[in-house]
Structure 1
Amino acid sequence: MHFFDIVRLSFRTIASYKLRSALTSLGLIIGIAAVIILTSLGRGLHTFVIAEFTQFGTNIIGIHPGKKSTFGISGATMNTVRPLSMADAAALAKLAGVVAVVPVVQGNARVETDNKQRRSNVIGAGDAVPQVWKIRPALGRFLPSGEDANPRTFAVLGDKLATELFGQTSPLGKRVRIGTDRYRVIGVMEKKGQMLGFDMDDTVYIPAGKALEMFDRESLMEIDLLYGNNVTVAALQKNITNLLTARHGGEDFTLITQNQMLESMDSVLNILTLAVAVLGGISLLVGSVGIITIMTIAASERVSEIGLLRAIGAERDIIFKLFLFEALTLSAVGGVIGVIAGIGVVGLISILVPALPAELAWAYVAAAFLLSLLIGIVSGVIPAMKAARLDPLQALHSE
């Protein structure tokens, strides 16, 4: 019996048992569709989070007060931590390779006009925010330079906050009360949206020195440093460490590069995508059990057919190939339908729920389909071996 004869006979057998074949493939269809849908959501989340972090650029080093690492003894952290100061930020700005520096203080306060008020995020920063954070004023200008020593009461509103307080009226030159001081609005930032739940548009920017006074803080919460593309990060980190160690008398600060943060986040999100793929793979496992069960029952029900084939000269390997190919065909058909169904559902999610990030992970799509073929081979081997071992005379006698 030629290969194409085996293929033709396998398809005829599958077509003869339509309901059984459909139910056998259903488990794989659901499993593969589940893998594609779950991994697409995981990949979409991965892309969304990475995009949120990279919208501010990648050539950024964040400097935070306090040493995050220990020294080999449980609980042995730095006993004395000098605050990060505006003077530290000014000194860092003079380092070779540093393009701009932003001192950062963050809090929450009530922002009031003559007849409206709203609690909002307050960010104390320097004039280099547009350059470092890649966010620019849509109206007016950002905080001026030279506000470190004697900061003036200037404020720049986020797009949403400006709309909430002033509607369609231009807020430039208007006064708002933030905390106990009145600030003059000199600019409105462009729309930026949310970053990991933090609404950049519902924010007011004031000089960092004023924010330190408002929130009664001694230390800056962070200093963001932008460096050039031709700078070696390791060398710059060493220079920053040497400078701040000399100023503070010890290494009581932590450096975090944007690339380190992205690498850590990328690793976590890849593990998350793999985890949801494993959850979908459980459905594939259930589908494989279904194929094994159905093919084993089929071998028991088709004893007379097997005996007849053996009686007219079909060798054991022909019987083996026949049952194996039936299982492989069911798996392939189920795999193709599952892939189409999964891609279709992901497309519907993107259309009906555009806010939910979904992106096809083609590597997992291919892996799911190949796994369905492997399941067909594995699940067909045992029933095929059982059918091939049948004695032709006993098989005919059972009829």
Structure 2
Amino acid sequence: MRDWGRVPYNREDMMNRMIVSNLVHRPLRSVISIVAIAIEVTLILLIVGLSVGMLNDSRKRTAGIGADVMVQPPNASALSTFSTASVPIKVAGALEKLPHVIAAVPVVMSTNTSGSIEVIYGIDLTAGSPYNFDNTGRPFRYIAGGPFQGPNDMLVDDYFASDKHVKVGDQLELFNHKFRVSGIVENGKGARKFLPISTLQNLMGVEGKASMFYLRLDNPANADLVVQEIKNTPGLETYTARSLQAFLSMMTVEKLPGFSNFIKVVVGIAMIIGFIVIFQSMYTAVMERTREIGILKSLGANKVYIVRLILRETLTLAVCGIALGIGFSYAARLGIRAKFPLMTVQMTAPWIGYATLIAVVGAMMGAIYPAVKAAQKDPIDALAYE
């Protein structure tokens, strides 16, 4: 009798035909397994894509401010920009006196959690003011309207205006107050909504305070010199100063506190889902095919052949599920973009590769025990199985 694990003649072709036959013969089980793996891949790509997309969007808008150095309260972290204003605004005068500093622009930042989480900037746009936000180096480009005309005016960027169908002159509610949209600006300069700095200070109860300062220098190459100068200046040495490039380098998945752990949790949950579904599916399949396995072993199929048969069947399911999951993810990204233009889903080739690898590993791990169990079945007992 031929040993199927050693004789190559038609062995691969026969195995492939058996795999296709088994999957087609049990369509419901196959479809459920494929869809479960697709959900696993979609979960990874969408959640990671949303997280990375929002992070990169924030990073891009911060870079668009045009400043060279940012100064925050003492011991501030990369996320401290979302805290309340605590820095005396008069610090701007001391910063302006430092070598290479052309402008020191104060900004008040407040987090609005009504409806969605967003950061609101309080800025000065008074013509001729040393605190004018346009002094950061990249002035606003107005799509419609213009700067604030009064304390109850606000600016919004063109993405927000398009998403919410907002026009100049419309009334928007923010912090339980009504504000008139005085202008729509091109996106990419910090926040998506801007209020007069004095208005936001009054609403927050932080008159005369700022959240941070953006410094524009005579030459961006002097950023590190200015940061060191701030650390060496009495009265300023406790403040946290970073070049904008250093700050932007911190806004990555690897360096942002807690972000990488969040990604690991998402990936872990997705892998567990794939493992459980494949384990249940293949274990059930092995139990259903006890007699079939007995026939194969009685014809000379060894343990390696049986294990390979189960694992290749699992790999086929995984490949189909991965392809479907990637398709689901791209379709969902288009749907999210159409429904929520402000939300960015970023799917990159590396993460598609990671999701594929995670799905395959999870599926194979789930199939190992059923495969080994099938290989260990006694052919006599299997043939007698009803």
1:2 is matched with 11
- Describe the shift of the 1:281–1:361 C-alpha distance in structure 2 as closer, same or farther (beyond 3 A): farther
1:40 is matched with 49
Distance in structure 2 (CA, Å) of the matches to 1:47 and 1:305: 54
TM-score (norm 1): 0.66
1:259 shift after superposition: 3.1
TM-score (norm 2): 0.68
- Describe the shift of the 1:241–1:371 C-alpha distance in structure 2 as closer, same or farther (beyond 3 A): closer
Give the aligned residue type for 2:216: L
The alignment status of 1:226 with 2:216, answered yes or no, reads yes
1:390 is matched with 377
1:271 shift after superposition: 4.6
Distance in structure 1 (CA, Å) of the matches to 2:210 and 2:312: 69
2:298 is matched with 311
Superposed, 1:263-274 pairs within 5 Å as 263-267=249-253, 271-272=258-259
Give 1 or 2 for the bigger CA radius of gyration.
1
Contact 1:288–1:376 (CA under 8 A) maintained in structure 2: yes
1:363 shift after superposition: 2.5
Give the aligned residue type for 2:44: V
1:87 shift after superposition: 5.3
1:226 shift after superposition: 1.8
Distance in structure 1 (CA, Å) of the matches to 2:29 and 2:263: 30
The alignment status of 1:29 with 2:53, answered yes or no, reads no
- Describe the shift of the 1:193–1:164 C-alpha distance in structure 2 as closer, same or farther (beyond 3 A): farther
1:398 shift after superposition: 2.6
Distance in structure 1 (CA, Å) of the matches to 2:108 and 2:333: 39
| Residue 262 of structure 1, aligned match among 211, 229, 248 | 248
- Describe the shift of the 1:103–1:358 C-alpha distance in structure 2 as closer, same or farther (beyond 3 A): closer
1:49 is matched with 58
Superposed, 1:20-99 pairs within 5 Å as 20-57=29-66, 59-62=68-71, 67-68=74-75, 84=90, 88-92=94-98, 95=99, 97-98=100-101
Contact 2:282–2:367 (CA under 8 A) maintained in structure 1: yes
Contact 1:39–1:361 (CA under 8 A) maintained in structure 2: no
Contact 1:6–1:322 (CA under 8 A) maintained in structure 2: yes
Distance in structure 1 (CA, Å) of the matches to 2:193 and 2:284: 60
Per-residue CA deviations over 1:61-115 (Å, capped at 9, x if unaligned) read: 4366xx448xxxxxxxxxxx998467534522xx1x44x113537699xxxxxxx
1:133 shift after superposition: 4.2
| Residue 380 of structure 1, aligned match among 355, 362, 367 | 367
Give the aligned residue type for 2:193: D
SS in 2 for 1:360: coil
Distance in structure 2 (CA, Å) of the matches to 1:398 and 1:4: 27
The alignment status of 1:135 with 2:121, answered yes or no, reads no
1:199 is matched with 193
1:126 is matched with 130
Contact 1:60–1:258 (CA under 8 A) maintained in structure 2: yes
1:379 shift after superposition: 2.0
| Residue 275 of structure 2, aligned match among 288, 304, 322 | 288
1:366 shift after superposition: 1.7
- Describe the shift of the 1:222–1:26 C-alpha distance in structure 2 as closer, same or farther (beyond 3 A): closer
- Aligned length, in residue pairs: 323
Q: Which ranges of structure 1 fall in alignment gaps of 5 or more residues?
A: 70-80, 109-119, 143-154, 166-187, 206-210
Distance in structure 2 (CA, Å) of the matches to 1:383 and 1:350: 42
Contact 1:28–1:288 (CA under 8 A) maintained in structure 2: no
- Describe the shift of the 1:55–1:310 C-alpha distance in structure 2 as closer, same or farther (beyond 3 A): same
Contact 1:193–1:199 (CA under 8 A) maintained in structure 2: no
1:237 is matched with 227
Distance in structure 2 (CA, Å) of the matches to 1:338 and 1:221: 43
Contact 2:36–2:277 (CA under 8 A) maintained in structure 1: yes
| Cα RMSD, aligned residues only | 4.1
Superposed, 1:165-184 pairs within 5 Å as none
Distance in structure 2 (CA, Å) of the matches to 1:227 and 1:36: 40
Distance in structure 2 (CA, Å) of the matches to 1:82 and 1:196: 21
Deviates more, 1:319-328 or 1:129-138: 129-138
1:129 shift after superposition: 4.5
Residue identity over aligned pairs, in percent, reads 18
Give the aligned residue type for 1:17: R
Distance in structure 2 (CA, Å) of the matches to 1:62 and 1:41: 29
- Describe the shift of the 1:17–1:68 C-alpha distance in structure 2 as closer, same or farther (beyond 3 A): closer
SS in 2 for 1:377: helix
1:134 shift after superposition: 0.9
Give the aligned residue type for 1:227: L
Q: Which ranges of structure 2 fall in alignment gaps of 5 or more residues?
A: 1-9, 77-86, 111-120, 157-166, 171-181
